[in-house]
Amino acid sequence: GNSVTQMEGPVTLSEEAFLTINCTYTATGYPSLFWYVQYPGEGLQLLLKATKADDKGSNKGFEATYRKETTSFHLEKGSVQVSDSAVYFCALSDRNFGNEKLTFGTGTRLTIIP
């Protein structure tokens, strides 16, 4: 079955530091890949996505590239801010009609200190 392995947290960084959160996946076929973010007391928000190999998703300064050869989708940001403190989830889904299920990683809690 499908699975997502995500970098263990928590991660604590100083403001303006470089961020990488690793994510690798196992899937049959060609899944779509996502990063979701969860702020305290809220549901999940889609941060970025990539639907095919070599696609780069980007949003709010975050980027991730769909690497089929290494089955990875690592999240990066060049300069983090205090407001980026949240829990980040890597996820995948099959790209088939009739299967809207998302498979999530365990989540990485990120704390940015001023």
Partner 1 sequence: KAGVTQTPRYLIKTRGQQVTLSCSPISGHRSVSWYQQTPGQGLQFLFEYFSETQRNKGNFPGRFSGRQFSNSRSEMNVSTLELGDSALYLCASNVGTGGYNEQFFGPGTRLTVL
Binding site for partner 1 (CB under 8 A): 32, 34, 36, 41-46, 49, 51, 89, 93-107
Residue 41 Cβ vs partner 1, minimum distance, rounded to whole Å: 8
**CA quadruple 22, 109, 25, 73: dihedral sign:** negative
Select from 39, 38, 8 the least CA-distant residue to 105: 8
Give whichever of 17 and 59 is closer to partner 1, judged by the CB atom.
59
Q: Is the Cβ of residue 68 or residue 95 nearer to partner 1 in the bound state? A: 95
Closest separation in Å from C-beta 44 to partner 1: 4
Report in angstroms how near the CB of residue 86 gets to partner 1 at its nearest.
14
Nearer to partner 1, 19 or 90 (CB): 90
Q: How far is CA 28 from CA 34, 49, 61, 62, in A?
A: 16, 18, 30, 27
The distance of closest approach from Cβ of residue 110 to partner 1 in the complex, given in angstroms and rounded to an integer, is 16
| C-alpha to C-alpha distance for 5 and 8, rounded to whole angstroms | 9
Q: Closer to partner 1 at the Cβ: 73 or 89?
A: 89
What span, in angstroms and rounded, lies between the C-alpha atoms of 76 and 17?
A: 11
